[in-house]
Chain A
Amino acid sequence: GESVGLHLPTLSVQEGDNSIINCAYSNSASDYFIWYKQESGKGPQFIIDIRSNMDKRQGQRVTVLLNKTVKHLSLQIAATQPGDSAVYFCAAYTSGTYKYIFGTGTRLKVLA
């Protein structure tokens, strides 16, 4: 079946450094991708999204890169801050369906 995987379960970075969280998806028909941030005891919060007709999208301190050839996307966080500590999920969605396939999550730890 469809799956979305993450390359690392935990990522530790120094405060101020850049973070890169990776995600692989299996369905080549997926055409919309979302990154969510989930803090302890809270629901997932939208960070940034990208459609398959793009390969890069930037937000405030965050950038998502999409490589459809290898079915891979990444989330880059610039100048990581303590408030960025959370679990990050990617989700893959296929238009015409209603299913968001979520990855298992990467826990980002920001070291002071």
Chain B
Amino acid sequence: DAGVIQSPRHEVTEMGQEVTLRCKPISGHNSLFWYRQTMMRGLELLIYFNNNVPIDDSGMPEDRFSAKMPNASFSTLKIQPSEPRDSAVYFCASRPTSGELFFGEGSRLTVL
């Protein structure tokens, strides 16, 4: 299995631009998580999907952030407009019904 696949691995953009991060979970996993990692705050849960349905988006910082999961094999996290404080590494993780999370390699976002 290829594992959780994220793209892009690195993104540098200017303040105000739209950013779209993509994730392909492991086939057969029915739960998908988006996390943000910073030095100051560690790993923060942004949103959780179960069977493609958003269950909890209370971790999404504000309306500038949105996430979708149109099917079981694809999810996006969008930031519009982006701000410098959004600079972080964004991880997607998936899991089967229970057990440990399987993380992707992350998307490192830098907003100038």
Interface residues of A (CB under 8 A from B): 34, 36, 41-46, 49, 89, 91, 95, 98-100, 102-105
Contact = CB atoms under 8 A, between A and B. Distances in A.
B106 A98 contact: no
The 10 closest A-B pairs by CB, nearest first: A43-B103, A102-B43, A104-B42, A46-B100, A44-B103, A43-B105, A98-B48, A34-B100, A43-B106, A43-B104
A42 B105 contact: yes
Interface residues of B, number: 21
B55 A45 contact: no
The DSSP consensus for interface residues of chain B is strand
A34 B56 CA distance: 22
B81 to A, nearest CB: 27
Interface string B44-64: 010010100001100000000
Interface of B: 4, 31, 33, 42-43, 45, 48, 50, 55-56, 91, 93, 98-106
Contacts, number: 42
Nearest to B48: A98
B103 A98 contact: no
B109 to A, nearest CB: 14
A45 B55 CA distance: 25
Given A42-B106, A99-B45, 6 more contacts: A44-B91, A46-B102, A49-B99, A98-B31, A98-B33, A104-B42
A41 B56 CA distance: 28
Nearest to A99: B45
A44 B104 CA distance: 8
B100 A102 contact: no
Nearest to B56: A98
A20 B112 CA distance: 40
Contacts of B33: 98, 100
A94 to B, nearest CB: 12
Contact of A89 (B43, B98, B102, B105): B43
Contacts of B100: 34, 46, 49
Contacts of A89: 43
Contact of A103 (B42, B102, B104, B105): B42
